Amino acid sequence: MKKEISAEIMTIGDELLYGQVIDTNSAWLGQELGKIGIRVKQITSISDNPEAICEALTQAISRVDIVLITGGLGPTKDDLTKHTLARYFNSELQLHQPSLEDVESIFKRFNRPMLEVNRQQAFLPASCTPIRNVLGTAPGMLFHEQETVIVSMPGVPFEMKRMVTDTVLPYLQDHFHLPQIIHKVIQTIGIGESFLAEKIADWEDNLPAHLKLAYLPYLAGVRLRLTGFSDNQQELETQLQEQVDRLTALIPDHIFAYGEVTLEEAIGQLLKDRNLTISTAESCTGGLVAHKLTSVPGSSAYFMGSVVAYNNEVKKAQLGVTTEILEQHGAVSEETVRAMAEGVRKLLKTDIGISTSGIAGPDGGTPDKPVGTIWIAYADAHQTIARKITYNKTRLLNIEYTTLQVLDLVRQSLRRRVEE
């Protein structure tokens, strides 16, 4: 098998360290490198400091085959990357005429005068291979140091992505002999990471050496990523699918999708396949369930509407929850969510109605019903199912968790309908 090629991503800029700008570049680069068989070994964020940049670069060159640097190539005084790299590689800055012509064409296109600081962006270290920036004024730079390829690119995401797609990835594919890397993602819900690991331990222990499993937990479940390395793509695809099939047989109730599919997308497909409609009655989630469902393109085929019944008077007037139920059991109760789910289904004439009511916090709890006490319900023509959730985290986490749980209740109910 070919040697594994590793990469390090370096992001430069105080704004990243202060949290003023979110680093989306690294996530995108990691995904794109993985597609062509390059494994990201480390991601490093560095301040706008020449010494820090040089030290980090020396360390990166010693441990990986590729270093991809983003940021610090703008025209202002705090953009130090180009001058630092010129010093690091002991290389004078020279005017690169094609880059100057690109910069001039941008200013001409927008009918704006070009300043000297913009002209200076066309001066590049003599030892680098310039990388054209067709969307901006800062060219990229490619260097070789020992056996390592170093690429410096702008931090502006759309400029960096175009440069990577057009130039960097094709160069890396030509320069290195890359193995095939294929990822299979299995989306699970309703089982924690440790319980899941125990349930599939024998299967995981018997995976071939070239197949690796990663656990990526989220609020209500775990994304499993099965990664394979091989020189034979077709054979690897077959092996991965065989393992996914074996895994599916072990945890069929917890898998809701394969690949990068969200829970709401998976539910939307189930509803479309069965030609069913759905509506929501929400109290503690405040419309988040409806938002999740309608975030899916084409959701108008199955989502009819929602009632956000935060106040008890709305529960009574719009959803038909009786005064007796509210007085005897309270808004956060099995009886209330059952009535809400049945009421919204009747009101909006849908096949399915779902509901939520709970105490999201941080206050409002009682000894009998502490913060994090939540009820959810599902109703269709055949049955009404209610479940109690106890999840006392922060307010926003309680709301998000409830939303995932009620959506999973829909998924489970639809699966049972098919099995019956």
- Asked if the structure places residue 1 within a domain, the reply is no
Of 157, 175, 193, the position where a domain reaches its end is 175
| pLDDT tens over the chain, length 420 residues | 557 899 999 999 999 999 999 999 999 999 999 888 898 999 999 999 999 999 999 999 999 999 999 999 988 877 899 999 999 999 999 999 999 998 898 888 888 888 888 889 999 999 999 999 999 999 999 999 989 999 999 999 999 999 999 999 999 999 998 877 889 999 999 999 999 999 999 999 999 999 999 999 999 999 999 999 888 889 999 999 999 999 999 999 999 999 999 999 999 999 999 999 999 999 999 999 999 999 999 999 999 999 999 999 999 999 999 999 999 999 999 999 999 999 999 999 999 999 999 999 999 999 999 999 999 999 999 999 999 999 999 999 999 999 999 999 999 999 887 665
DSSP codes of every residue in 257-300: EESS--HHHHHHHHHHHHT--EEEEESTTTTHHHHHHHTSTTGG
Last residue of a domain, one of 223, 241, 258: 258
Cβ burial of 149 (10 Å; 0-12, 13-18, 19+) is buried
CATH of the domain at 389: 3.90.950.20
**pTM beyond 0.85, yes or no:** no
Q: Which of 141, 175, 209 is the last residue of a domain?
A: 175
Residues 252 and 126 in one domain: no
What would the two tokens of residue 262 be? 């969200």
Whether 298 and 253 share a structural domain: no
Residue 29 lies in a domain: yes
Residues 251 and 268 in one domain: no
Do 271 and 239 lie in one domain? The reply is no
Same domain for 168 and 271? no
Domain that holds residue 111: 6-175
The CATH number of whichever domain residue 88 belongs to comes to 3.40.980.10
> 220 with 276, same domain?
no
Let me know if residue 202 belongs to a domain.
yes
CB distance 288 to 356 below 8 Å: no
Whether the link from the prior residue into 362 is cis, omega within 30° of 0, is yes
Q: Is residue 164 part of a domain?
A: yes
Give the integer Cα–Cα distance in Å for 24 and 364.
38
d(CA 266, CA 280): 17
Q: Which residues contact 359 (CB under 8 A, 6 or more apart)?
A: 284, 332, 365, 369, 370, 371, 372, 373, 374
The number of distinct structural domains making up the chain is 3
Clarify whether residues 304 and 390 are in a common domain.
yes
* 146 in the same domain as 270: no
